Structures are given as structure tokens and as C-alpha cells.
Chain A
């Protein structure tokens, strides 16, 4: 796995956690659609990419999965945030904000030139 994938996986995981935190239990398809919508269509990736990320979060205990029925009566696997997941989300949010803030300072003067 290259670094790029790692970064992408990391950000994708953060997006998944945040989406689950705001929307509650959600299935993989719903999460993918929601992330696509939230990014304003700028993140158009294969929906499939979300599944390895979900598996990884599940292995880490940040989310839990359970089979259930969707609003239009389809069987689907629903993911919910665990308590560990909430803590992870809070931590990741802070670290992400720090990172962007630092990067913003680096990038700002260059733009001014």
C-alpha cells in the first residue's frame, strides 16, 4: 500500500465516522452516497472503495455492523458508531483541524506572492 492510499483511507475513514455520527446507523451504499453528496460531487470515486475502509474500522472496533432492513425493504448491513468510534472521531477531528491549520499557514504566504 502506497502513502497516497493510506492518506485516502485515513480521510475516508474520518468521513465515514463523521457521517455515521451525524446520520446514525447507515448502510455502505447510503454512506457512499452521503459522502458523495456532502463533497458536492467533487469526490466521485468507486463506491466499492468504502467497503475495505468499513472492514478496517470494524476490525478496529470503531464501528459495529448488523444486518437490517432498509426504508425500501431491502436487506442491508447497517453500521453504527461505537463508543470507541466516537472517541476516535473526536481525536481525528482535532488532529485534522490542527493539520489543516498548519498547512494553511504554510500555503498562505506563497499565495500572497
Chain B
């Protein structure tokens, strides 16, 4: 019969409505059947039957329960109706064993929650497209040299690249440039960016208020103008729309604000930059082709690939190398995805954490499967009875799926709570300085991508959970299940499957433990890496003077001396020094050196340059290896001198005393010639995980700057020293910018390298701890179950004369076998996994024997404890009792 849409629709509606009027429909049916029976009985009576017989015949003719069932099915939507019944039943069943239900739900919530937390970070940082127009076409454009495949652009090269290239529709450059912003409360240091004029257009960003830079303003030749971020507009100018056209004083110079960026604008390399100004290339370093301080971003022309752009830029770089052999020797080009430049170092860490979380989720799932299997086992008779009473297999399957579904649903909802809390917690733990480089984490949270991931994970878990019991069950037959005792073959089947699951669990736990161990060891190595100075009792503060106020000759030198003298006079300060760059910051701010009296063919001997006060290296506690320290006498009036580090001595003066040798710039300009007067032990200038570079320490008096860090060694706790330092420096000059107050030891602890290593070690460590507990509990479950199944066998053995120790051995051998296989498989997996994360390990090989042996022993020990308990129980049974047990 073909049914019109209207009729089908009406029927469906009526049936759906029927879901809610169960009782009324049942009563209606009962009344109608009663009426039917009465009518039929009347007829039968008329035909001469006895009243009893008349009623019986009527009943027979009506048919039995099947009719009612068909009527009910027609009255409602059976699938929904059954599901509701199943859910009710499942909830009742779970409520009957609340301990098991709670355990399963908790394990699931933690496993899924952990996974979603990390996924939230992965999504926000790695999966979400950058918030720019056609972000796939944006590329990171940098220079390359033999030492660094990706190094800063020089402004002169950048301008040539801009005009010569044919692969970018636009190419722009940027660099960080903080400003001293004049405020009524005195100058404050604000982060800023200098950019080439077209940067915002290249990114596809338009100011929401005012305008972008114009061609005349690029390069710093035009009027001084600034674009501000939405946040700066709100916080510093209280969202006043008349901000455009207003002027602000940045580092002593007046700038006109011309535009406000959109609220959604973010630019990770800006590190929270508030004021965006055009690159000023009218003088100073940028005018030199050898001054590399910029990052480039280009927009690929349609159809051009990253590789093609890289090749095209390499050709241009070679051309420039021929044209400017002095400055451009070995300077190539680098073109890569812009997203890589934005996300930086956290990509491998995030993938590692996601891998760890996934493994943990795997263990959690296996654990829940084991729990469900054990339960199925104990419900074998119930299920057999239901089958025997005519429940269809499909209905039993649905029952399993529903039960798993209820568990997964509750677990998933809790997992969302866990994930939300976890994300907030983890984001809150990121040091503020590092957080500024991760603006994309603003999008962190329970967004649609995380929810979709949650649903996907839940569905997979549901599949696993419903499949497990089904596999075990399909093997068994109804009669065996109903037989008294009901163990036999199915018990063995479960033991086999359970044992395999436990091996997988233990192996996974082993992988996580080994990962955590290696990361922990890396962290230890990293935090205990040779610094070359004593980091305790050191405090620092940074000073910046507006250049325009200190541009008369001798002013910066006097400022440095004044600051040093004031701070040194503070009670509790035992030593003070100044430096252009603090230790454990970065390798960079380099200079190229050439050695007097040696052949030179244009190679770039790149070394870290640090401008320091005479007392600086001694304040740090750096070790003098040869020659002398810088002294106060080494000022602008005296011949130039320099102290080098040991690495530089080793690299450039092998088998030679560097003291007394002279170095200069690449063209040995007479004014650049300096004499090496001393060698100090290597001070770690770069990040904890970076190599030691050769370094030169120049006297600040011979290389003055208006921006430096003050370092003091204190007698008491250094944290208490910081405020009085700032106050003392404020007295030198009210216009000084004073910022970056910190305790050196804390600064090292919270440095990005230490933070990344620590957070991954802790996170993987906590994953591993949970995995260890779950794996050991799983082992306990299997062994305890197996021991309980073998009670009778134990009784027989003991009755035949086996001692308790023999029973002990029997159980422990079973457990030991499983643990051993798990550990061995896990070890192989651990080494493989560690090889993948080799980049994240610091000074620790993936096959670090001590770590692997330790974690294997830990897991083995925990497994032993977990199996001693059931072994003890098995050994303490009374043989008589055991024999009667069945």
C-alpha cells in the first residue's frame, strides 16, 4: 500500500505523541478488548455455549499477548520506547553496582577529559587557521646562513627582496621595538612593533578606526605615526573615538595615532605589542646591509608554492651575494609556512602531550572494558535466562550498547567539566611572558571543535565498550550459561581476553612511565645544566632611558655609572653589574669578528656581544680563566678591550693564548680594533637548552647604550631587594623606564625552555601515574578473578598435598608472566616513542638505560603488590571448604 506523505506524517506524529500517553493508551486498549470479549461472549451464549465456555472461546479467538504487543508497537515508536526501557534498565543495573559504575565513569571522565584538555590546546594552537585573510598563502620569509637555516632579515636585503621578487603579491617585515610611553604617572615601558608599511594589508587586516600606514610613512621618512591595538585603545584611551589624530610620546618622540586595529587582531611575534610604528630605517643599524634584525612575512601569488617561492628567493639572494660580497657572503633565503613562525616551539610538545593523553585514554577504555566484561561474566545466567525466555539476540545486543551508552554519556559530560577546568588551569599556569607569545590561546575553551572531538571519542569508546561483552558472549551458549555454576568454557574465554587486555594496559603504562621518566630526567638535566654562574641571590631590573634625552656625548656612560653607584649603595647589595642582555635569555645580539694578523676570506665569525659593566661578570660569579676582568679604567678614553668566553677561546684560539690577541670588525676598521684582556668560563647566555656560543664582553663605557639590565648579588633573599632597586634607580632620573624586575633564579625556572620541559614532564608524569594505577588495578582484577575461578583447583591441589607456597607460586607465576610480557612489550614501545620525541629530550638519549630500568622496576614492583593480595587469599583457603564450594 502506498502511503501519502500527509498520512504518514500524521501517523508519525500520533506515534510520537503516543510516547507520552502510555497509560491512557493502555487503558483504552483494555477497555476495547473487554468490550470485544463481552460482545463475542454474548454471541457465543446465543449459540448455546455455557457461560464459561463462551468466555473461553472468545478469548481464544481474540489471540494472546502478541496482539497487544503489535497494538502497542503501532501506538508508539517501538525503537524509542525500547531505548527508553533499556536506558531505565541500564540505570537500574548500574545503580545496583554503584562502585563499579562510579569507577567506570570516573576513569572515563578522567581519560576523556585529559584527552580533550590537550586537544583544546592543539586545536587552538595548531589546527585553527590563523586569523588572517587566506592564511594558507602567508609565508615566513627569512634569510638563511650556514649556521642558522632561519635567521633575521637585514632591512637593505629586505628592500631588494621586495622589489626583485616575482613570487609574492606583497612582502613585509617587522621587529619588536618597545617604547617608553610618557604617562601622567611617569614613563612606562610598553611593548611595540616596528613594521614595514604594508604589513597589515599583507595580513589582510584593516583598522576598525582611522587608517593604515600610507606609502609616505613607510621607512620612517614621513611623519611619525602609530597604529594601536583595540585593547590599548580601550585601556589607555578608554575607547575614545577621538583617539585618531591624538599624539603620544613614545621614547621621547611625538607620534600621531592614525588607526585602531580590530579587537580580534592577534600577532604572536608582537608579544602583546601596543603601539605599531613604521620601521625607521633612516639611520643606525638598519641602514647597514649587515644588520640583521627583521622578520619577514609574504603573501604568495596565486599558484605559487612555498618550495617555488623558496627557490626563487634563493636565486635573488645569490644575486645579492655577488653584488655585496662583504655583507652577503653565504646569506641565502628561507621561506616556510607562516603558521610555523607563529606557533614556534610548542608544536612538538603539544603533539607529545596529545599522544600521552591518547595513550591514557586507551588505558582508561581498556580498564572500563575489563570492568564491563567481569560484570557480563557475573550476569551470564541472567542473560541466558532472558534469551531462553525469548528475548531476541538483537535486543540483548541493544541492551549492552545501551548500558555502555549510559556510562559513556555520563562519563563524557563529566569529561567536558574536566576538560574545561583542565584548560583553564593549564592556561593559567603559563608564565605571563610566555603567554604573550601565544595569543592564539585566547580561543581556548569548550568550542565546537573540542565538542566534536568529544563526541567522536565518546562514539569510539561506545563502540569498544559494546563490542567487548558481545565478543565474549557470542561464544557462549544458552544452556551452558544456565547450568548451575555456569563457568566452564566462558570463564576461560574471559580469562584469555582479560589477560590480553591487561598486557596491553601494562605495556601502555610502561610507555607512559618511560616517557615521563625520560622527560623528568631531561628536566633535571635542563635545570641543572652548567650555567657558568651562581644563579642564587641574584636580582635584576631593566632600565631604559628615552634616547632623545641622553643623546649628548657621555650621557649614557654617566647614566650607567650613576645607576650602578646608587644600586651599589643599597644595604644588602654585595655586588652590582650591568649588561645589555641577561644570561639565560637567547643567543643573539651578535657581532661579526675578524682576527688581526690572520688571513680572512669573508667568513662570518658570529659571536654573542654583551656590553657589560666592569663588575658584571664578577657579580654573576663567572670564573676568570685567563688574563684579567674588565675594570673601571677601561673607559672611552682608553684603548678598547674585551673579555671573551672559553668557547670562543677554544674555537678561534686553539693551542694559543688569546690574551693579548686583537680582534676587529669584518673590515678591521681601526676604531673597531680591541684587545682581548681576559677569558671567562662559559656563561649560559642562550636558553637552557641551547648550545654555548662564542661570546665577547665589551666594557659598557666603550660601547654605551641607554637600555641595560642591572644585576645585583644580595646578602639576603633577592626578592626583597627588587623594590628598593627600582626606587633607587628612579632617583637617578625620573624619566627612566624601569621594568622587568625579577629574581634571576625565578627567571630561569620560568624561562620558556624550562617551562615547556617542566609542563610536559609533569603532565606526562601525571598521565603515567594514572596509567600505572589503572594498569595495576587491571592486573589485580584479572589475577583476582582467575584465582577465584580456580578455588576448586587450589582445593584439590592442597588436598593432594601442595603447600601454601606452591599455591602462592602458581598465582604469582601467572601474574608475573603477564607483567613481564607487558613490561617487555612496553619497553620496545617506549624506546620507539622516545625516539619520536627525541627533539624534546634534553641531554637524555631515548634509550636511557637508568630511566628505563627504573620505570620497569617500578611497574614490576607495583604489579607484584597487586598480585600478592589475590595470591595470599588463594593460599589461605581451607581445602575442605574449597572442595565443597561448587
Contact = CB atoms under 8 A, between A and B. Distances in A.
A13 B35 CA distance: 21
A105 to B, nearest CB: 21
Contacts of B3: 60
Contacts of B31: 75, 77
Contacts of B832: none
Nearest to B78: A1
Interface stretch (B10-18, B82-90, B608-616): B10-18
Interface in B850-886: none
A76 B35 CA distance: 5
A21 to B, nearest CB: 17
B7 interface: yes
Interface in B47-76: 61-64, 67-68, 70-71, 73-75
A48 B60 CA distance: 10
Interface in A23-57: 27-30, 33, 46-49, 51-52, 55-56
Interface string A53-96: 00110111110000000101011110000001000100010010
B394 to A, nearest CB: 14
Contacts of A72: 39, 42
Contact of A74 (B8, B42, B71, B73): B42
B32 interface: yes
B39 A74 contact: yes
Chain B CB within 10 Å — which of A47, A58, A75 has the most?
A: A47
Contacts of A77: 31-32, 35
Contacts, number: 85
B36 A60 contact: no
A55 B75 contact: yes
Given A10-B1, A61-B10, A48 B67 contact: yes
**Size class of A's contact patch?**
20 to 34
Contact of A27 (B7, B35, B61): B35
Given A46-B63, A48-B62, A59-B14, A76 B71 contact: no
B1 A55 contact: no
A29 B74 contact: no
A51 B2 contact: no
Contacts of B43: 33
Given A51-B29, A52-B67, A95-B2, A30 B39 contact: yes
Contact of B74 (A14, A52, A84): A52
Contacts of B29: 51
Given A13-B1, A60-B7, A61-B10, A46 B67 contact: yes
B38 interface: yes
B51 to A, nearest CB: 15
A101 B75 CA distance: 35
B40 interface: yes
- Which of B8, B67, B68 is packed against the most chain A CB atoms within 10 Å? B67
A52 B18 CA distance: 14
B544 to A, nearest CB: 82
A55 B74 contact: yes
B62 A47 contact: yes
Contact of B40 (A9, A47, A52): A47
A49 B7 contact: no
Contacts of B73: 52
Contacts of A62: 7
Given A46-B62, A75-B35, A52 B7 contact: no
A52 B68 CA distance: 8
A57 B412 CA distance: 43
> Chain A CB within 10 Å — which of B15, B36, B61, B68 has the most?
B36
Contacts of A27: 35-36, 39
Nearest to A88: B7
Which one of B33, B43, B74 has the greatest number of beta carbons of chain A within 10 Å? B74
Contacts of B63: 46-49
A79 to B, nearest CB: 11
Contacts of B68: 48
Nearest to B35: A76
Given A28-B32, A74-B35, A51 B71 contact: yes
Of B1, B10, B38, most A-chain CB atoms within 10 Å: B1
Nearest to A28: B36
Contact of B36 (A14, A47, A52, A58): A47
Contacts of A29: 35-36, 39-40
B482 to A, nearest CB: 30
Contact of A60 (B11, B42, B62, B70): B11
A55 to B, nearest CB: 5
Nearest to A87: B4
Contacts of A28: 32, 35-36
Nearest to B25: A55
A108 to B, nearest CB: 25
Contacts of A88: 7
**Most chain B Cβ neighbours within 10 Å, of A9, A30, A59, A60:** A59
A74 B40 CA distance: 11
Nearest to A30: B39
Contacts of A58: 14
Contact of B7 (A47, A48, A61, A70): A61
Given A59-B11, A59-B15, A52 B39 contact: no
B330 to A, nearest CB: 80
Contacts of A92: 1
A110 B815 CA distance: 74
Contacts of A70: 39
Contacts of B36: 27-29, 47, 76
Contact of B61 (A6, A46, A56, A61): A46
Contacts of B35: 27-29, 74-77
Contacts of B74: 52, 55-56, 59
A71 B297 CA distance: 94
A52 B32 contact: no
Nearest to B36: A29
B46 to A, nearest CB: 9
B11 A52 contact: no
Nearest to B62: A48
A6 B39 CA distance: 29
A60 B10 contact: yes
Nearest to B46: A72
Nearest to A5: B70
B424 to A, nearest CB: 51
Given A48-B64, A51-B32, A88-B7, 4 more contacts: A46-B62, A47-B36, A59-B10, A72-B42
11 contacts: A27-B39, A29-B36, A29-B39, A49-B63, A49-B67, A51-B29, A59-B11, A60-B11, A61-B10, A70-B39, A72-B42
Interface of B: 1-3, 7-8, 10-11, 14-15, 29, 31-33, 35-36, 38-40, 42-43, 61-64, 67-68, 70-71, 73-75
Closest 9 pairs between A and B when the two form their complex, measured CB to CB? A46-B63, A48-B67, A48-B63, A10-B1, A59-B14, A60-B7, A59-B11, A29-B39, A52-B74
